[in-house]
Amino acid sequence: MSKSRPIEKINISTSTEYYDAIANSYSRETEKRKQYIISINEWVRDWLRSQLCTNILDVGTGDGKRLLNILQDVNYLSLSIIEPSTKLINIAQSNFPKSNFCNRDLKDCDFPKSSFSHVLSLWNVLGHVTNRHEFAAKIFQLLEPDGYFIFDVNNRYNIQNYGFISVARNYLKDILSKAEAGYFILRNSGNSTRVFIHSERDAIALMKMTGFEEI
Ligand SMILES: C[S@@+](CC[C@H](N)C(=O)[O-])C[C@H]1O[C@@H](n2cnc3c(N)ncnc32)[C@H](O)[C@@H]1O
C-alpha cells in the first residue's frame, strides 16, 4: 500500500465564479489586508481630491465598500461601476444607488470612447483578467486624452508581503518555467481561481506598451 498522500483534487473556477462563491465572506478578506488597503485608499483619495474629476469609472469594484471610502469628499459628475460578479455587484448597488452599473467583464461593457476622466481598478483586478493587453487597451480607449488610470497590483517579488522563501521560489519559477511565470492559484474556503501576480517591471511595461505614461 502506498504511503503517499492522496492527490488533492482542485477545481479551478473562473474569476467570476470564484468571487460569487466568496461574496458573503468578501468583507473578511478585505479586513485581513486592512493596513495596506487604508494606505492606498488615502493616497488615491488625496490625489482625486486634487484633480478635476468629471466622469469616474471603477473597474472590478467588488462589494463597493472600498470605493465608498475612497470617494469621500471627492467631487465628480458621474460614477460608473463594472463588476462581473452578480453577488458582489448586488451589494455594491446598495452602496451607490445613483451610479451606472455594468455586471460584466470590462471587455463586454459598452461605453463610448473617451468617456472618463479617471478610471480606477484597484487590488489586483488586472491579475484576474484573461487578456491583460486587451484590458489595458480598452481602458486607454475609454479615457479622455488627458485622463488617468489608477491601478494597483500585487508584486510577486514583495519580500515584506510574501516572505524571503516564497520570493526566492518565485524568482526560480520565473527562470525555470517562463510560461508559468507569475501565475498562481488563489484559494479561499475550498474555492480556487488562477491569478496573475505581476512584477513591478511587468506592470509598467504593459502600461507603456499600451500607450500610457507613468506619473
Ligand atoms: C481583489 S477584487 C478587488 C475589488 C475592489 N477593487 C477592491 O479593491 O476591493 C478583484 C475584483 O475584480 C473583478 N474582476 C475580475 N476580472 C474582471 C474583469 N475582466 N473585468 C472587471 N472586473 C473584473 C472581480 O470580480 C473582483 O471583484
Q: Is residue 206 part of a domain?
A: yes
Q: Alpha carbon 138 to chain centroid distance?
A: 15
Q: What is the pLDDT of residues 145-197, one digit of tens each?
A: 999 999 999 999 999 888 999 989 999 999 998 889 999 999 998 999 999 99
Total domains in the chain come to: 1
Residue 194 lies in a domain: no
64 Cα to the center of ligand 1, angstroms: 10
Q: If you measure from the C-alpha of residue 62 to the centroid of ligand 1, how many angstroms do you get, rounded to a whole number? A: 6
CATH number of the domain where residue 24 is located: 3.40.50.150
Residue 89 maps to a domain: yes
How many CB atoms within 10 Å of residue 44? 21
Task: Name the residue at shortest CA distance from atom 24 of ligand 1.
Answer: 60
Does a structural domain hold residue 92?
A: yes
- Note whether residue 190 is domain-resident: no
pLDDT at 2: 55
Residue nearest atom 13 in ligand 1 by C-alpha distance: 60
Range of 16's domain?
12-154+200-210
Edge-to-edge strands, sheet with 100-102: 100-102, 78-82, 55-59, 116-121, 143-151
Q: Is the CB of 132 under 6 A from ligand 1?
A: no
CA dihedral over 106, 174, 159, 188, signed as positive or negative? positive
Q: Looking at residue 74, what is its pLDDT?
A: 97
Residues 6+ apart with CB under 8 A from 78: 54, 55, 56, 99, 100
Q: What is the mean pLDDT of the chain?
A: 93
Residue 135 cell numbers, joined:
484590458
Q: State mean pLDDT over 67-91.
A: 97
Cβ atoms of 41 and 71 closer than 8 Å: no
Residue whose Cα lies nearest atom 27 of ligand 1: it is: 62
- For the entire predicted model, the pTM comes to 0.93
Q: What's the rounded mean pLDDT across residues 87-106?
A: 95
- For the segment 17-39, the average pLDDT, to the nearest whole number, is 92
Nearest-CA residue for ligand 1 atom 3 is: 123
pLDDT, tens digit, for every residue of 110-148?
Answer: 999 999 999 999 999 999 999 999 999 999 999 999 999
